[in-house]
Structure formats: structure tokens, C-alpha cells
């Protein structure tokens, strides 16, 4: 170990090895377990269904489908294949979308703080929590 840069390299590697798993754990803790159906419910009511209600449209309720169907729906990320609505349901939970409507939606402005994945997880949690075959089926108005 004559060369000091070697020493730093080793130190850096040791740190990376020690910290790597910790950072990974924190990440997955954030991604899992933290989703909150109550936040999803508010988002669904004020943003998703606010649009579905327009032009005499029908609101979308968790009770419309089973837990498995909702999981498949969100995993496929197909929002609606025809018409002028965007084809990706994740687009409607994205910051990009919230940003685009924040001038007319206080809710969208308020929810801007959530990263895309977190916001999507809250909404999915709401649909699963209120699914047809859940313990708490939920119909929206």
C-alpha cells in the first residue's frame, strides 16, 4: 500500500459494500408497504373521476372489478384503448400530468410532491382496498 490512491480506492469500495445493502433496503421500504389507500381515494375522486364524470361519463369505482383484475389492469398500464384519453393510466398519476392541470386543480398542485411511483402506488392501493372481492368494496360517486 505505497500508493495512497489505492488506499482511497479500497476505502471507497469498503464503504460501497457496507452502505449498498442499507440503501437498497431503504429504497424497497419506501416502494413497498407505504402506499395509502386514503391518499389514493382522494386522488381518484378529485383527479381521475373528475375527468370520468365529464360529458355525462361514468365514474370508475373499485367495486367494478376484483383484486386480481385491478392488479392486472394496472400492471398492463392500458388506460383506455379508444377515444381521446391517454392510453397509459400511469400518465394520469404522473407528475407530468399533475403539473399540466395544477392551474385548475388544487388537488393536483397539492399532490405534486409525490414522485410518480409513489402516487401510482397510492391509487392502486385504493382500487385493491375497495375491489369487489375485498373486505371493503367501495363505490364512488
Please state, in angstroms and as integers, the Cα–Cα distance from residue 26 to each residue in 19, 32, 111, 117, 125, following that order. 11, 10, 22, 15, 20
Per CB under 6 A, residues contacting ligand HEC are: 47-48, 51-52, 57-58, 60, 79-80, 83, 85, 89, 92-93, 123
Q: How far is the CB of 57 from ligand HEC (least distance, A)?
A: 6
Q: Which CB sits closer to ligand HEC, 55 or 135?
A: 55
Q: How far is the CB of 93 from ligand HEC (least distance, A)?
A: 5
- CB-count burial class (<10 Å; 0-12, 13-18, 19+) for 123: buried
Tell me the C-alpha distance between 35 and 24, whole Å.
18
Q: How far is the CB of 34 from ligand HEC (least distance, A)?
A: 18
Q: How far is the CB of 35 from ligand HEC (least distance, A)?
A: 14
Q: Which CB sits closer to ligand HEC, 24 or 72?
A: 72
User: At 123, phi and psi to the nearest 5?
Assistant: -70, -45
Amino acid at each position: 500500500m505505497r500508493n495512497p490512491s489505492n488506499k482511497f480506492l479500497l476505502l471507497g469500495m469498503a464503504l460501497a459494500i457496507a452502505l449498498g445493502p442499507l440503501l437498497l433496503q431503504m429504497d424497497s421500504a419506501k416502494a413497498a408497504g407505504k402506499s395509502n389507500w386514503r391518499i389514493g381515494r382522494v386522488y381518484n375522486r378529485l383527479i381521475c373521476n373528475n375527468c370520468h364524470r365529464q360529458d355525462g361519463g361514468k365514474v370508475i369505482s373499485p367495486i367494478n372489478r376484483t383484486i386480481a383484475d385491478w392488479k392486472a389492469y394496472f400492471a398492463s398500464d392500458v388506460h383506455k384503448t379508444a377515444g381521446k384519453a391517454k392510453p397509459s393510466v400511469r400518465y394520469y398519476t404522473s407528475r407530468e400530468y399533475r403539473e399540466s392541470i395544477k392551474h385548475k386543480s388544487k388537488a393536483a398542485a397539492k399532490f405534486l410532491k409525490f414522485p410518480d411511483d409513489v402516487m401510482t402506488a397510492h391509487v392502486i392501493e385504493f382500487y385493491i382496498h375497495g375491489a369487489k372481492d375485498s373486505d371493503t368494496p367501495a363505490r364512488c360517486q
